Amino acid sequence: MNMKNLLFLFLIALVSFYFFSSTKNLVEEKKTFTSKEISFSFVGDLMCHSPIYESSKVEKDSFDFNPIFEEIKNDLSHADFTIGNLETVVAGNEFSFSGYPNFNSPIEYLT
C-alpha cells in the first residue's frame, strides 16, 4: 500500500471518528432535555353581596372571609397560577359597605 492510500484511509478514519463522536453528543443532549409545564386555574365573578360580608364580620370593622373560600381552596391550589375576576370595588370602610348595585367590599375580601 502506498503512502497516498494510507493517508486517504487515515483521513476517512479521522472523519468517521469525528462524525460518530459528535452524533453521540447530540443524542446525549437530547436525553438531558426536559420540558417544563405551567398550570393555570381561573375563577370568575368574585362578588361580595351584603349577606356575604355581614356573615364574615368578626368585629365592628373586621372581617374574615377565609371560611367562604375554604370549600374551593384545594381545587384552586393545584395550579401554579390562579387568576380570579374580582367583581366588586374595595374602597374600604371610609365609604359604607354595600352590595348590589353599588358594591363596596371590605379590604379583607382581598386576603
| DSSP-assigned states of every residue in 39-100 | -EEEEEEE---HHHHHHTEEETTEE--HHHHHHHHHHHHTSSEEEEEE-S----TTS--B-T
pLDDT at residue 16 tops 70: yes
Predicted pLDDT of residue 65 = 92
Predicted pLDDT of residue 38 = 94
- Looking at the chain, how many residues does it have? 111
Query: Would you call 104 helix, strand, or coil by DSSP?
Result: strand
The answer to whether residues 98 and 52 touch, using CB atoms and an 8 Å cutoff, is: no
Residue 105 cell numbers, joined: 367590599
pLDDT at residue 67 tops 90: yes
pLDDT at residue 23 tops 70: no
- pTM over 0.85? The answer is no
Better-scored residue on pLDDT, 67 or 5: 67
Domain boundaries, the chain: 40-110
